[in-house]
Amino acid sequence: MNNQNWAVLVPELTCRNIDVSKKFYCNIVGFSMTFEREEDRFIYLDLGGAQLMLEERHEGSWETGPLAPPFGRGINLQIEVEALQPILDRFAQAGLSLFREAEEVWYREDDIEHGQIEALAQDPDGYLLRFVEILGTRPVASPGPA
């Protein structure tokens, strides 16, 4: 991978066990490992342009306050995927439950709505991941008489 392929914003998540996280993100979610620094317990992942860095917690980590599971409270990471069903199937095969089952949702932007099927899951450290399959756009339905 060269700098031209790096996303302009790449979250780096602290994890408790890099091996457990690697198995989850690569085998269940479907990320590919772009590179790894075993000596730092660090991996760089990519899934269709969605990129994450994972590093095992260690002395000297960049922690701005107490860190306790579940990690990442208050944030969810939206990851756009070509097809949501294969990920859901791998979760089911692994016996993993979802935080929120897949559902179709539409979000308004001015006079159009953007549709997606989304499902939410937590990774082994509790980070909330929102997987979305894009459905397209439609005009906002005009409001009925008041």
Tell me the CATH number for domain 12-57+75-139: 3.10.180.10
Cis ω on the peptide bond leading into residue 66 (within 30° of 0)?
Answer: no
Q: Label residue 65 by pLDDT band (50, 70, 90).
A: confident
Q: Label residue 62 by pLDDT band (50, 70, 90).
A: confident
Q: For residues 8-36, give the mean pLDDT.
A: 97
Cα 137 from Cα 115, distance rounded (Å):
6
The domains of the chain are located at 12-57+75-139
Q: Label residue 4 by pLDDT band (50, 70, 90).
A: low
* pLDDT at 35 (0 to 100): 96
pLDDT digit string (tens) for 103-138? 999 999 999 999 999 999 999 999 999 999 999 999
Residue with tokens 């075993």: 38
Q: State the pTM of this model.
A: 0.88
* pLDDT at 117 (0 to 100): 99
Q: For residues 83-98, give the mean pLDDT.
A: 98
Cα dist from 78 to 65, 72, 111, 112, 133, whole Å: 24, 13, 23, 20, 10
Is residue 144's pLDDT more than 80? no
- On whether the CB atoms of residues 29 and 71 are closer than 8 A, the answer is no
